[in-house]
Structure 1
Amino acid sequence: MRIYRWALPLLAVAVSGCVGDDQSGSAESETTRGFDYQGMMANYADNVFLPEYRAFADQADELAEGINSVEFYCESLNDSDGASRIQRARDQWRSTMDQWQRVELFQVGPLAANGGALRNRIYSFGSSAPLSECAVDQSVVLAQEEGFNLSARSFNARGLDALEYLLFSEDLTHHCPSQISETEGWNDLPESTRRQQRCDYAQRLADDIVDASQTLVQTWEPEGGDYRFEWVNPANQEDNLKALSDAIFYVELQTKDRKLGVPTGLHTGCNAVACPDAVESPYSETSMRNIQVNMKAFLQGFKGGNGLGFDDIFVHEGFPDVKEAFEDAIIDADVRSGYSSPTLLQQMRAQHESGSAQDCQNAAANPEDNYPGACAAHAYLKRVTDRLRTDFITIVNLDLPERGQSDND
C-alpha cells in the first residue's frame, strides 16, 4: 500500500519540477516549483547508468581479447607460462565481475525488459535459469560441432557465472547424469583435449558477454537506440522513478536475502542450518567481495553519484539528518562486508557440518561482538534495508517493489 505522508502526490511535484520552466536552480525557485525530478533522471542516465555500463563493456572487452584475456590464456595451454596466464585471466574475470556487481544495482529499461533477458545473458545468478554445471558441460561438447549456435543455449550455460566455472574449477570431469548423451565418453578424453574444449567454449562465452555489453550501451546511447530519451521524458517520469526505486531494492532482495540470508540460513529460502550450495560465485569464492561492491553501488545509486539523487529528495523534503543516518548505515554495511577470509563458502560449509545455526543467529543478533563474519554482515545489511523499507519509501513516496512486500528474515 502506498504511504501518502506528504501534502503533494509525487506526480504533481514531478510535473511542477520539469526542466523547461525556470532553470535558475535558486533555492527560492526550487522551493516554489518543487523538486527537479527530470534533472534527477537525466543525471542518473548521464552520470550513473551510462558510465557504469560503458565501464563494464570495457572490462568485458579486456576479458575477451586483452592482454589478460581468456583468449590469451587459451593460446598458452601448452606453454610454460600457462599457469601465470590463467591467473591473469582469473584476475581479469574478477575485475569484470566487480564492475558487473555495480551494474546489478541499475537494472532499469533495456536491462530489465523481457524478463531481464539481456541481464540474464550476461549473468544469471538469482534468475529462473541459474548456472547449471551440466548445461555448461553439454555446451562445451556441442560447441565442437559445426553450426553450434550459442544464442540457442539456455542462460544457465552462459554468461559470467558459466565463465567462472570454466576458469576457476580444476575438476575436468563432467557433472551430468549418465543419461545425458552429449557428455558420454567425455571423462575418457585426454586431459589436454578436455582443457582445450573448455577453453574453446570459454572464448565463445567471453565474446558473447562483449556483444551483450555493447548491446546494453547502444540501447541507451543517443546515436543508438536512445533509450535515454524515454528515461528522461517527463511523460514517463513517474514510471521511471518507480523503476529506479525498484532497481536499487536489489540490495535487499538479492544482496541481503539471496546472497547472505539464504546461505547463512537466516532467510526462509534455506530450510537447513546453512545452505552452502546457494553461495554466489562459489568457484572464485568472491561472494563477500560481490556484496561489498553491491553496497558501494547502492550508495552511488542513492546519491545519484555527484548529481541529483534520492538523497537530495530527502533534503528537499526536510530530512537531512535522516539522509545522513541512512548514508552512514550504508557505509557501515560496506565496511563490515569487506573481508575475504574465511570465505562465505568456507563459513557456510563449516556451519552446515556443525549441525547448529546458533552461532550464526547470535552473530546476527549481536554483530558488533562477532565481526568479521557473514552472519554479522547480514545484520548490518538489514539495518540498511530496514531504513530502505521505512524512511526511504516514505520520504520518496513510492511503493515497495512487488517482490519485496514481505520480509522473510
Structure 2
Amino acid sequence: MLISAKLKPIALVTSLVLTLAACSEDTSSTQGPNYGGGTTDPGNGGGTSFDEKALVANLVDNVITPTFTSFNQQAAANHATLSQYCAVEKSAAEGEATEDERLAALLEAQTSWRDTTALWQHAELMQMGPLLENEGELRNLIYSWPAKSLCGVDQDTAYFEDGMINLDSTRPYDIKERTATRRGLVSLEHLLFSEQLNHSCSISNDALADWNNRSDSERRIARCEFAIEVASDLVDNSQVLLDKWNGDSGYAMALKNAGEVDSSFDSAHAAVNVISDALFYLTEQVKDKKLALPLGYESNSCGLEACPQDVESPIAAQSLANIQANLAAFEKLFTGNGIAQDNTTGFDDFLIEEEGTDTKDAMLKGLTDSNKTLESINGTLQQALIDEKAKVEQTHEKVKDVTDQLKHDFINKLALELPKSSAGDND
C-alpha cells in the first residue's frame, strides 16, 4: 500500500528535532581573500574580531548535536514501530487480525519511516567528521542515496529469511557484512512502500527461485522481518555516529577546542570552515542532484529531459519533503537557531560583523523563496515534473540564488575556503 506523501512545513520538520532533543556562478576563487591569516589569536585565525569559538560552540551544542541525538532516538522508536507492524502482519496471516488492522499498522510503520527520514535529512546537511571518514562509510550505511539496489535488498530479504547467503550453509547471513545499498533508510523505503511483491532482479538466483510464486502474505512477512533487522542495524549505526561525535575525545569537542594546545585544528577559523563546508550540501546535492538531475539539466535516465524516475525518493514519494528538510537544516546551521533560544550565534551574525549584511539578507530571502515555491507544488515531485515543471524549475532557481551567494560572497566575506568538491563547479 503506497501512502501519498504530503509536503511538511519547515516548522513541523524542525520541531521534530527540537522536541526529540530537548545556472552560473563565479568560481574563479576557491577561498576568501583573507583565508587563514591576519591574526595571532589562536581562538580565531581568520583575521577577524568576531568570536568564532562562540559560533562553533553554539552550532555544535545547539544545532548539530541535538540533530544527531534526535535521529538516534527516532531510529530506536522506528525499530519498535516496525516490530509492532510485523507482529500484526503475522497475526493477519493467521487470521487473528483484520485487513484494516494490518493496513493501519503498515501506515504507522510508513509514517515512522517518514519521521526518521525527515530527521536524517537534517543530518544529511551536517556532514562532517565521522560522517565523512572513509569516504562517507558511516553516512552511506545510514543512507546510501544516490546509490541503491532494489534487487540487492530483495536478495538480502531472502538471505536473511534463510539465515545464509544464497542457500550456502558455509556463508551465514550477517547484515554487518553486507553492502550499504542493502541497508539503511533506502532499503527500508523499498521494504515498507513497494507495492510490487515480486523481486526486482532481472535474473533470480537460488534463494529467489520460488519467491514470485509464494503467497502475498509470506512475502510481506519476509520483508517486514528483514525490515526489523535493517531498522536494528540503523539504530546501531546511529549510535556509532553519536559515540564518535560525543565525549571528551569526540569530534564535537575537537571542533569546540579548535585553536587550543594539542588541538587537531590550528584555529577556530579552521573549525568554522569545516562547518561551512557542510552547507555546500545545498549546492552539490539539493540543487544539482535532487533538482537539476531529474529536471534534465544534466544527463539522466531519460537523456536530457525531465525524468520523474530519477527523483531522490520515488517509492515513498518523499522527495519534496526531503528537500524542505534540507532547507530547514541549512537555515538552522546558517542562523544558529537551535534548541537554545538565548543563543543564536550563527553565520548570519558573522556576516553582519564582516560587513556582509547584504549577503546574509540575500541568502535568507533565497531560502524563503525556495520554500514558497516548494509549497506551491501540488502532489509529488514526480508528478510535478510532468504537470508543473515550471514550479520545479523555479525551485531550482531559488535554491541557486542561495548557492550563488554561498560560493562567492559568503566565502569571500568570511575568508573561508570552498570545499574541494565545489571548487570546480561552474553551474
Superposed CA deviations along residues 50-106 of structure 1, whole A, max 9, x for unmatched, are: 1000111111111101xxx11111000112111101111111111111111111110
Superposed CA deviations along residues 240-287 of structure 1, whole A, max 9, x for unmatched, are: 333212211000110111001100112355632122232111111011
The one-letter amino acid paired with 1:114 is N
Q: Quick check: 1:289–1:338 contact (8 Å CA) kept in 2? A: no
Match of 1:273 in 2: 305
Tell me, in whole angstroms, the C-alpha distance in 1 between the residues paired with 2:160 and 2:131: 27
**1:342-353 maps to which residues of 2 (within 5 A)?**
342-348=379-385, 350=386
Q: What is the Cα deviation at residue 196 of structure 1?
A: 0.8
Higher relative contact order (CA 8 A, sep 6+): 2
Tell me, in whole angstroms, the C-alpha distance in 2 between the residues paired with 1:33 and 1:186: 64
Tell me, in whole angstroms, the C-alpha distance in 2 between the residues paired with 1:42 and 1:49: 10
**1:5-404 maps to which residues of 2 (within 5 A)?**
5-6=33-34, 9-13=35-39, 16=41, 18=43, 34-65=49-80, 69-77=81-89, 78=92, 79-80=97-98, 81-126=101-146, 130-146=147-163, 147-178=172-203, 180-222=205-247, 225-232=249-256, 233-234=258-259, 235=263, 236=265, 237=267, 238-268=269-299, 271-305=303-337, 306-339=343-376, 341-348=378-385, 350=386, 360=389, 363=390, 373-404=391-422
The one-letter amino acid paired with 1:310 is F
What SS is found at the alignment partner of 2:117? helix
What SS is found at the alignment partner of 2:206? coil
What SS is found at the alignment partner of 2:247? coil
Tell me, in whole angstroms, the C-alpha distance in 2 between the residues paired with 1:33 and 1:86: 54
Tell me, in whole angstroms, the C-alpha distance in 1 between the residues paired with 2:154 and 2:307: 24
Tell me, in whole angstroms, the C-alpha distance in 2 between the residues paired with 1:255 and 1:201: 30
Tell me, in whole angstroms, the C-alpha distance in 1 between the residues paired with 2:250 and 2:134: 18
TM-score (norm 2): 0.81
Q: What is the Cα deviation at residue 408 of structure 1?
A: 5.8
Q: Quick check: 1:326–1:387 contact (8 Å CA) kept in 2? A: yes
- In structure 2, do the counterparts of structure 1 residues 33 and 345 end up closer, same or farther at CA, with 3 Å as the change threshold? closer
The one-letter amino acid paired with 1:323 is K
- In structure 2, do the counterparts of structure 1 residues 242 and 4 end up closer, same or farther at CA, with 3 Å as the change threshold? closer
| Count of aligned positions | 369
What SS is found at the alignment partner of 2:309? helix
- In structure 2, do the counterparts of structure 1 residues 229 and 193 end up closer, same or farther at CA, with 3 Å as the change threshold? same
Q: What is the Cα deviation at residue 2 of structure 1?
A: 3.8
**Which consecutive unaligned segments of at least 5 residues does structure 2 have?**
1-28, 164-171, 338-342
**Which consecutive unaligned segments of at least 5 residues does structure 1 have?**
20-31, 352-358, 364-372
Q: What is the Cα deviation at residue 304 of structure 1?
A: 2.2
Q: Quick check: 1:70–1:202 contact (8 Å CA) kept in 2? A: yes
Tell me, in whole angstroms, the C-alpha distance in 2 between the residues paired with 1:289 and 1:98: 7
